Structure 1
Amino acid sequence: MIAVVGRTDLSAPALTLPEEEPRPRPAGFARAGRAGRVRAGHGRSVAFGRAARGAGPALVTVLPSRDGLPAWLGERDRKAAGELLSLSQQVRLLEYHPGDRTSCGTADEGLPRSCARVPAVGDGSPSSGRDTTAHLVACARGHGADVEVLWPRGAEHRAVGGEPS
């Protein structure tokens, strides 16, 4: 499996990275019989879903559930989930609350557990305090996944105060 992590509020240039940059990588996973996995949502999930579908590996979309039934998604994520479902070969339900940041973070932490490769997408903008990309990269590495951080050309790593890090 391959899972993608990163901010959900990525800039437009960063959103093109999963579609442009790793296209040969998902194709290699397809030849190896592996699939891509994303948690339903806007931004990076849809960009990766499009890239996976274009390159050939099966896509698995993880939907939130409550008591074994699909949970309600907000408008923005609902539209994205619709596109992801049309791109997916499989759907998995996972118990988490889509409106709760901590619950979503726990769900994201679980994505890399059974994945061999995890691309992390950044855009160089300062962390808003809601960005869990670094934490998810550490989780993925802790589970033995091969992690690659994708940055758009010209992006700088910046701290919250705006200073380059």
Structure 2
Amino acid sequence: MIAVVGHPDLTVPTLALLEEELRSRLAGRARAGRAGLVRAGRGLPVAFGRAAHKAGLALVTVLPSRGGMPGHVAGPDRDAAGELLLLSRMVRLVEYDPADRASCIIADEALVRSCARVLAVWDGSPSNGRDATAHLVAYARSHGVDVEVLWPRGAEHRTVPSAKAPGARGLTGRFPRTTD
């Protein structure tokens, strides 16, 4: 299983750049029978899901749950979760509260432990009050999980995310037209 982690505030051009980079990296792993694992949300998870689909890699989407039943996915992430579900071959329910940062980090740590490899979309910056990417990279490495860091030339993220910034919501739920 291959998981993806990364900055939550990637710019729209960066997400488009990453989708192609991820597709090319995942193509060989699809032939090896691997699967991709992503926690439902906008931005990087959708780029990863689209890339996995184009590469022929099975996708597993993680949804929040409460008491074994699917939990609430907040408005901005709802469309993205819907697209990921359409792209997925399997859904995994995990107990966590998407509104609680600590709960999300605990869920991400459990997902990382369940994988053989983590693709980390990370510029090398330290974790802060919003972005736990550095923590998850260190966590994966400390648990013997292979980590592959991706930060393509031209990639950017906002250090202070703003809801008013153009494209601040990143990739959301529009299912792309495919030619295959």
TM range (shorter): 0.7 to 0.9
For residues 15-51 of structure 1, what are the alpha-carbon distances to aligned partners after superposition, in whole Å with 9 as ceiling and x for unaligned?
Answer: 1243111323211221111100000111111110000
Match of 1:74 in 2: 74
AA matched with 1:69: M
Letter in 2 for 1:66: R
The AA in structure 2 aligned to 1:29 is R
2:63 is aligned to 63
Q: 1:2-151 to 2 correspondence within 5 Å?
A: 2-122=2-122, 129-151=129-151
Matched with 2:172 is none
State the Cα RMSD in Å: 2.4
Total equivalences in the alignment: 159
Structure with larger RCO (C-alpha < 8 A, sep 6+): 2
How does the TM-score come out when normalised to structure 2?
0.80
The CA deviation at 1:143 is 2.3
Unaligned runs of 5+ in 1: 161-165
Secondary structure of the structure 2 residue equivalent to 1:91: strand
Letter in 2 for 1:146: D
What runs of 5+ residues in structure 2 fail to find an aligned partner?
A: 161-180
Displacement, 1:127?
A: 6.2
Q: 1:47 to 1:29 in 2, by over 3 A?
A: same
Q: What percentage of aligned pairs have identical amino acids? A: 71
Whole-Å separation in 2 of the counterparts to 1:78 and 1:97 = 14
The alignment's TM-score, normalised by the length of structure 1, stands at 0.87
Alpha-carbon displacement from aligned partner over 1:56-94 (angstroms, at most 9, x marks no partner):
110000000000111111101111100000000000100
Structure 1 range deviating more: 139-148 or 118-127: 118-127
